[in-house]
Amino acid sequence: MNRFAQGSLATAVLLAALAGCKQEQQAAPVTPPQAGVEAPATTTAAPTAVELKDVIENTPSYIIGISYPPAASKYPGLASELASYSEHAKAELLKAVSELGNDKPTAPYELSLAYDMLADTPAVVAVSADGSSYTGGAHGQPLVARFVWLPEQQRLLKAEDLMSSAKGWQALSDYAEDKLLEQATVRAQGEDLSPEEQQAQVRNLSKMIDEGTAPDPTNFSQFQPVLDAAGKISALRFVFAPYQVGPYSDGTQTVDVPAAVLLPHVAADYQGLFAHP
C-alpha cells in the first residue's frame, strides 16, 4: 500500500474513532486505590478550565484529526498541557500549508493525533499522545509524547525533576542502553541474516542507542508509569520516538525501568509515588 493510501486509511480510522468517542463521554478508566502523597507546603492557584474538544478539519490542502479522552478534562492543569501540545502541532502544520502559497500539495498535508488515558488515580494521572504530521516526503513526522500529572501537587512530573543527581541519570542511561541493545539483538536474530550480518546490524544500531540514551534528561523526557495493584509506580516505561535509538522502520521503542533501579536516585518529592521493596 502506498503512503497516500495509508494516509487516507489512517485518517478514516481516526475520524471513525473520533465519532465513537462522542458516544463514550461517560467512560473512564478503572482507577486502582492509591495512597496519598504529601503535597508541598506551597499552594498553587487553581488553573483556568480548558475545554478539550475533538478536532476534525478537512480541506483540499490539509486534514486534521485530534481526539481526547473525556476523563482528562477533570484536571484543568493537565487539560491545558494537552491543548497546548495540540495547538503547537496544529500551528506547525498550518505554517507548512501557508508556505505553499498558491501551490497545491500532491496529497493533503495531515495531522493525526490521538490522546489516551493510561492511568487515573488520586496521586498519578498519565496520558499518551501518539500520531504524526505529514507535510510532504515519504512519510509523516512521528508525534510521541507522554504527560504524567500529579493531582495533589497540581503539576507535571517532568524528567528534569525526577532524579536527584547525575549519578541517577547515569544509572538510568546504563540500564536503558543495555535493554535496547538486547532488543536490537533479538530483532536481528528474527531476520533472515547470517550471524555476521546480525552482529553488523547490532553494531550499526549501537551508536544510535548510545547517543539516544546518553545521561541527559532530554533523552528521557517521555515516560509513563506502570502501576501495581495498589496504584504505586512499580516501573517507569521510557518511550523513544523513531530516529532516537533506531531507524524509522524500528518505530517507537520502550524500556521498562523497575522502581528498584530508580528509587536510589529519585528526588525526595516523588519517593512516595513509587512501590518500595
Confidence category of residue 47, pLDDT binned at 50, 70, 90: low
Tallying the residues shown for the chain, one arrives at: 277
Low-confidence winner among 23-32, 205-214, 238-247 (lowest mean pLDDT): 23-32
Say which CATH architecture domain 160-273 belongs to: Alpha-Beta Complex (3.90)
In the predicted model, what is the mean pLDDT of the chain?
Answer: 86
Q: What is the pLDDT of residue 46?
A: 56
Q: Which of 2, 219, 17 lies closest to 130, judged by CA?
A: 17
**Tens digits of residue pLDDT in 127-169:** 999 999 999 988 899 999 999 999 999 999 999 999 999 999 9
pLDDT for residue 4 = 38
pLDDT at position 108 is 94
Residue 25 has pLDDT above 60, yes or no: no
**What ranges in the chain are assigned the alpha helix state H?**
3-22, 76-98, 159-162, 166-189, 195-212, 259-262
Q: Calculate the alpha carbon distances from 254 to 25, 177, 179, 213 in Å.
A: 30, 11, 9, 12
Distance, in Å, from the CA atom of 203 to the CA atom of 215, rounded to the nearest integer, reads 20
In the predicted model, is pLDDT for residue 73 greater than 70? Answer: yes
pLDDT at 32: 44
What is the per-residue pLDDT for 100?
Answer: 92
76 within 8 A of 48, measured Cβ to Cβ: yes
pLDDT in tens, 166-180: 999 999 999 999 999
Q: Which of 45, 87, 94 is CA-nearest to residue 68? A: 87
| Averaged pLDDT for residues 70-81 | 96
Q: How far apart are CA 130 and CA 146, in angstroms?
A: 9
- Between 41 and 259, the more confident residue is 259
List pLDDT tens digits, range 85-143: 999 999 999 999 999 988 888 899 999 999 999 999 999 999 999 999 999 988 899 99
pLDDT value at residue 34? 43
Q: Which of 38-42, 203-207, 222-226, 246-250 has the lowest mean pLDDT?
A: 38-42
Domain range summary for the chain, segments of one domain joined by +: 3-156, 160-273
Q: How far apart are CA 169 and CA 234, in angstroms?
A: 18
Q: What is the pLDDT of residues 183-234, one digit of tens each?
A: 999 988 888 888 888 888 899 899 999 999 999 999 999 999 999 999 999 9
Look at residue 249 and tell me whether its pLDDT is greater than 60: yes
Confidence at residue 45, expressed as pLDDT on a 0 to 100 scale: 53
Does the domain at residues 3-156 carry the CATH identifier 3.30.565.40?
A: yes
Q: What is the pLDDT of residue 197?
A: 87
Of all residues in the chain, the percent with pLDDT exceeding 70 is 82
> Does residue 27 register a pLDDT over 90?
no
Residues 6+ apart with CB under 8 A from 78: 72, 125, 127, 147, 149, 156
- Could you tell me the CA-to-CA distances from 266 to 107, 208, 226, 272 in Å, in that order? 47, 26, 16, 10
